[in-house]
A and B are shown apart, each in its own frame.
Chain A
Amino acid sequence: MKSFLSPGTSHKIMNSVLIFSGVLTISVLVIILAFILIEGLPAIDLEFIFGGVKDQGRSGGIFPVIVSSLYVTLISVLIAAPLGVGAAIYVVEYAENRKLVNIIRFGAETLASIPSIVFGLFGFAFFVMFLKMGWSVFSAGLVLAIMAIPTIFQVVEVSLRSVPSTYKEGSYGLGATKWQTICNVILPAAIPGIVTGIILAMTRAISEAAAVMYTVGSSVSMPISMFDPGRPLPLHLYILATEGISLQNAFATAAVLVIIVMVITFLTNYFTQRYQNKMMGNL
């Protein structure tokens, strides 16, 4: 077949297309970040970070909002991490029934694909109303945990499977039991993947508005007990913007959220990379 373009030309065109899409992706990221930071940063000062919400958010700060966010996120991770990691260990190391493994995987994929607002609605019906937990950081934390489990499970499963089987053989060959092998060889080797999975779930949980909307209430006072209501950052941001309370403070809240997520991501990358290097002898 005769081609319209010489190989050299089509190569050049493909190259430009790929570079263009790469540049476009980065630009979108930079533009969004710059926009939020430029709009938001000027309103951020110590009073904004450490002050209470005043006049529904028109003035004052967002300290209880930040605390609410960290509270629900922490609860969700504390519940989801052991369950997600445990399920992954079970599936990779223990489950002998292929069918059961496939069902668990299918369940995780399905859970992961349900829109977060549906989780929110479920959380309202089940935790808030049926179990009478009320609008609380605990109810919201539980909903976020349910959403986080499949993410953690999926990432950890992959990282457990990528631990070379030669490590396992070495351990069994020395007389280690299965449990000793899991604890002393497999988990340490998979730590970077496990941490990445947990942090990914965490940054999603902290950014979630829809799932907490019906479960956490919208109280701007400081949540102390797990059964106090609260108002995490994304929800505050949503309310400020949709109710036309203060677009300026909405951007400032968004900026705080973005910065928290970036700091978490950056720190984890840094430490997992260091751990990896030390483990692999590149240090």
Chain B
Amino acid sequence: MYRITAEHLNTYFGDAHILKDISLKVAENTVMALIGPSGCGKSTFLRSINRMNDLIASFKLEGTLLLDGNDIYSKNMDVVDLRRRVGMVFQKPNPFPKSIFENVAYGLRIHGNDDEDYIAQRVEESLKSAAIWDEVKDKLDQSALGLSGGQQQRLCIARTIANNPEVILMDEPCSALDPISTLKIEDLIHELKKDYTIVIVTHNMQQASRVSDFTSFFLNGELIESEKTEKLFVSPKEKKTEEYITGRFG
């Protein structure tokens, strides 16, 4: 079963045609890596899935984008619920200037939960799933901004998990982190795959091959090739893909 399906997807910022005729499927409980040179539209694709691009007035989208077979851009789609079901982790860790506990509880509260026992239990579960519980369990009431960058990013993952999403989008989640923190996040992605479908943008080929089941290579807004990860990196079909992954450009 496919969680995410894009068919002939085209997006624009004003007159600029960004994504060109993208057709791509992401299966349930798999990790899809998006790679490609800067400016090729990876983030735009990712942000189309949870409609974060809606925040930009000039954004336009044509074609189909489905979540579990339902049109993400249909009039009936509740954006609030969509963003609960499709969580997002950003490039720069962005915890709120609130306590660690309240960061994770935030999603629950805005979606109308007010049972404090339930919230406390979800916060603990989420922090455990994000492999950060042991580091923060004694300081849940301290500001999240006092954590290290790597811890902040795992907290942001916990914050997303607390919403009980189906899909987690990650836009270069490790690019602001040191190698050790990066490895921790990569291990975490392996764990999370059991319960969630993950789409991750990365500039790091090794990372893509370590964490993902499938990899899609974007170039100038076009999807050049989408394949099983080992296949794409070992024997790419397209010449452009080969040139990119061997570092001949990009």
Chain A CB within 8 A of B9 CB: no
Interface size grouping (class) on chain B: 20 to 34
With A and B bound together, what is the CA distance between A88 and B90 in angstroms? Answer: 28
By a CB distance below 8 angstroms, the chain B residues around A42 are: none
Chain A CB within 8 A of B83 CB: yes
Query: What is the minimal beta-carbon distance from A264 to any residue of chain B, in angstroms?
Result: 25
Q: Are A175 and B146 in contact (CB under 8 A)?
A: no
- Mark interface residues in A151-179 (1 if CB within 8 Å of B CB, else 0): 00000000000001011011111111100
Chain B CB within 8 A of A189 CB: yes
Query: What is the minimal beta-carbon distance from B133 to any residue of chain A, in angstroms?
Result: 18
Q: Are A173 and B52 in contact (CB under 8 A)?
A: yes
Q: Using a CB-CB cutoff of 8 Å, which residues 83-106 of chain B contact chain A?
A: 83-84, 87-88, 90, 92, 94-98, 106
Q: Are B94 and A170 in contact (CB under 8 A)?
A: yes
Binding-face segment, B15-23, B155-163, B185-193, B197-205: B155-163
- Checking B52, B57, B82, B145 against A169 with a beta-carbon cut-off of 8 angstroms, the contacting residue is B52
Q: Are B144 and A174 in contact (CB under 8 A)?
A: no
Interface size grouping (class) on chain A: 20 to 34
B94 nearest in chain A by CB position:
A166
Q: Are A282 and B160 in contact (CB under 8 A)?
A: no
With A and B bound together, what is the CA distance between A15 and B79 in angstroms? Answer: 59
By a CB distance below 8 angstroms, the chain A residues around B111 are: 175
- Checking B83, B92, B98, B147 against A175 with a beta-carbon cut-off of 8 angstroms, the contacting residue is B83
State the majority secondary structure of interface residues on A.
Answer: helix
By a CB distance below 8 angstroms, the chain A residues around B120 are: none
Q: Are A278 and B143 in contact (CB under 8 A)?
A: yes
With A and B bound together, what is the CA distance between A164 and B147 in angstroms? Answer: 18
With A and B bound together, what is the CA distance between A164 and B145 in angstroms? Answer: 13
Chain B CB within 8 A of A27 CB: no
Q: Using a CB-CB cutoff of 8 Å, which residues 34-65 of chain A contact chain B?
A: none
Chain B CB within 8 A of A280 CB: yes
By a CB distance below 8 angstroms, the chain B residues around A177 are: 80, 110
Q: Are A174 and B90 in contact (CB under 8 A)?
A: no
By a CB distance below 8 angstroms, the chain A residues around B82 are: 175
Chain A CB within 8 A of B37 CB: no
Selected A-B contacts with CB under 8 Å, 24 pairs: A166-B90, A167-B94, A169-B52, A170-B94, A170-B95, A173-B50, A173-B52, A173-B88, A173-B90, A174-B87, A174-B106, A174-B107, A174-B163, A176-B110, A177-B110, A184-B110, A185-B96, A189-B96, A279-B97, A279-B143, A281-B143, A281-B146, A281-B147, A283-B142
